Structure 1
Amino acid sequence: MWLGEPPEGEQNPHSQNPSEQPGWAQLLSGRNRAKVVAIAAASAVVVAACVTGLLLLGGRRDDNADGGRNATAPASAPQSATASAPASKNPLGGATEGPAVPGWKVVINPKWGTAFDVPPDWDVKSPSLQIGFEDSKVDYSDPKNWGKVIILMSAPAILQDNWCLSDDDKDGRVENNALAAAGTKGAKGAKSTGDVALSQVSWWVYGGYTQPDKKSIVSDRTTKPYTTKSGVKGSIAWARSKNTPQKGKCASDGKAVTFGFKNSAGDFVAWNLYGATGVKDELPDATIMKILSTVRLHGKPKGSSS
């Protein structure tokens, strides 16, 4: 089910005046597949990626930023959690929080006041990192379009960053595609938890697996009520693609699930997970639901969806 334009909820100062952003340069063109864009503030690093991989670029913006483009100065990646240290530092107060599932890793989003767990083979990124899909119809060689993206989420965890490597356009730049990713975003303008889920879930499949086509996406027309193990109540919706028209070595169908709920500040929030389908290492729905079951409120939110 498609509900209007791509959802809001993550502000984008880059789109206001990209010519003033340090380290930004013209986006390289000629790629047919969607790209994930990301920004990390913890290391003052702007990150841009193709569907999943992370290409590190220069930049100086906070975690409100959400559109990344090619730049000239490479930098180091943000630190990720390790399997040997399942307890995560609480960015809000320095305390630790153990995982709800023993042996899993904790993913904390201080902006929205949420947390969830992922299996030990996932890579937990910086809480200030945002990832999202660029629009294949947008001409990013025009500076006016810098910062325009389809959808974003913050404080992500990624499964197999380099799951598939390709250079379909033969431009010499290898694009790395992740198997799956999960994170949280705001839901500005939402009127209910069901509205949150329905307005976001299809965009993850569209952005990562089918654009510019929407006909190959099948999504829930209504949501289902869901309560996590910690007692967070909300609504979930699924979307899946079948026979995507995208071509290339790493092209595949995809799926996504969105859980809409309210954080402790009363703001509508969306937890999202997307991943490739019809592939050997596809993330099982049962594992997705186990991850979803760990979603919980965490501290006082630093952000707002308004």
Structure 2
Amino acid sequence: MPSGQPPGGAQNPHGQDPRQQSSRPQPSSGGAGGNRAKAVAVAAATTVVVAVGVTGSLLLGGGKDDGAAGLGGNTKAPASASPSTAPASGRPQTGNNGRPAVPGWKVVVNPEWGTAFDVPPDWDVKEPSMLIGFDDSKVDYSDPRNWGKAVIAMSGPAILQENWCLSVDDNNGLRTGTWLAAAGTKGAKGARSTGDAALSQAEQWVYAGYTQPDRKSIVSDPAATPYTTRSGVRGSIARARSRHTPEKGTCAFDGKAVTFGFRNSAGDLVAWTLFGATGVRDELPDSTIMKILSTVRLHGKPKTT
């Protein structure tokens, strides 16, 4: 999963505090080995294959659905959210003149899908062309033919504490990392509605980042909830989280995801997702997640149609 300094005082499944590890690769009894999913982050370009130093993984960027393979179908997701107040006009507002909807926050723009949202100042806003996602724990990435086969990926991301939990991979001795939280947008190809997009992707992010290859530890609601952002974008929200993930390793933690399915200005179904570790001292509060979600808005003409 992602990378960063571990939760303050949070213990890993083996009772060690990841922050006490040496800064140099070393033999590991738990580490990032076992069945831990690896996070991937690369520049999206159909002609370039980029090695990911943080994880040692490879992903080929590009593609109409953010370069991810194996997206979930009939899945579900947990909890509801109160809709935000729409503008008096009743129509979604486009852009925000480059200014954040929340003063002091950072703007995250995704020109591929024509969307934008804001994050607090301690988040790291990546290039719009960057893809982040998770490898498939069942795929052999030593075979170049499998490069680019991510379980799920998103573009135009923002990451909170990229080096939140660090560990050593048992297979190659490289340090791997886990993000505390991340957010971004992806296409919802194949979804039948905004609710369908939200339900399927929320659970898929939890599966990809926190429970592979297990789905039984994922808790989710059977239906999405209508939601309207501050700018008047209407869609559906869904949540999912894991409990007692069977994944092993220093940076194996339970996770949660919130997905907002909606249509961009071209009428295409897209999904905004924020995922992160749960059950840890540094866990991103739901109140902050909802405040970030409330800023999701349309931004310009989408490049992908």
TM-score bucket (shorter structure): 0.7 to 0.9
* Distance in 2 between residues matched to 1:98 and 1:294, nearest whole Å: 11
Alignment gaps of 5+ in structure 2: 1-31, 69-95
Letter in 1 for 2:37: A
Q: Secondary structure at the match of 1:256?
A: strand
Letter in 1 for 2:162: D
Task: Tell me the equivalent position of 1:131.
Answer: 132
Cα distance in 2, alignment partners of residues 269 and 276 from structure 1:
23
Q: CA deviation at 1:195?
A: 0.8
Corresponding residue number in structure 2 for 1:245: 246
1:197–1:237 contact (8 Å) kept in structure 2? yes
Q: For the Cα contact (< 8 Å) 1:45–1:57, is it kept in 2?
A: no
Give the TM-score, by structure 2 length: 0.74
Q: Is the 8 A contact 2:52 2:58 kept in 1?
A: no
| Partner residue in 1 for 2:202 | 201
Deviating above 4 A after TM superposition, structure 1's stretches of 4 or more consecutive aligned residues are 44-50, 53-59, 61-65
Report if the CA contact (8 A) 1:40-1:63 is conserved. no
Instruction: Please give the secondary structure, in 1, of the residue aligned with 2:140.
Output: coil
Structure 1 contact 154–183 (Cα < 8 Å) conserved: yes
- Work out the CA distance in 2 between the residues paired with 1:38 and 1:265: 27
- Change in Cα spacing, 1:107 to 1:36, as seen in structure 2 (3 Å) is same
Structure 1 unpaired stretches of 5+ = 1-28, 68-94
Give the structure 1 partner of residue 273 of structure 2: 272
- 2:221 paired residue number: 220
Give how far 1:48 is off: 5.0
2:28 aligned with 1:37, yes or no?
A: no
**Count of aligned residue pairs for this structure pair:** 246
8 A Cα contact 2:59 2:147, kept in partner: no
Deviation string 1:71-109 (CA, Å, 9 cap, x unpaired) is: xxxxxxxxxxxxxxxxxxxxxxxx950100000000000
> Sequence identity of aligned pairs in percent?
71
After superposition, where does 1:165-184 map in structure 2 within 5 Å? Answer: 165-169=166-170, 171-184=172-185
In 2: Cα distance, 1:206 partner to 1:265 partner:
30
SS at match of 1:97: coil
In the TM superposition, what is the alpha-carbon distance from 1:153 to its structure 2 partner?
0.6
1:203 is paired with a residue whose SS is helix
Q: What SS does structure 2 have at the residue aligned with 1:176?
A: strand
* 1:209–1:41 Cα change, 3 Å: closer
AA aligned opposite 2:246:
P
**For the structure 1 residues 49 and 213, does the alpha-carbon distance in structure 2 shift closer, same or farther, using more than 3 Å as the test?**
farther
Find out whether 1:285 has 2:262 as its counterpart: no
TM-score when normalising by structure 1: 0.74
Structure 1 residue 149: Cα displacement: 1.3
1:39 and 1:45 in contact (8 A); partners too = no
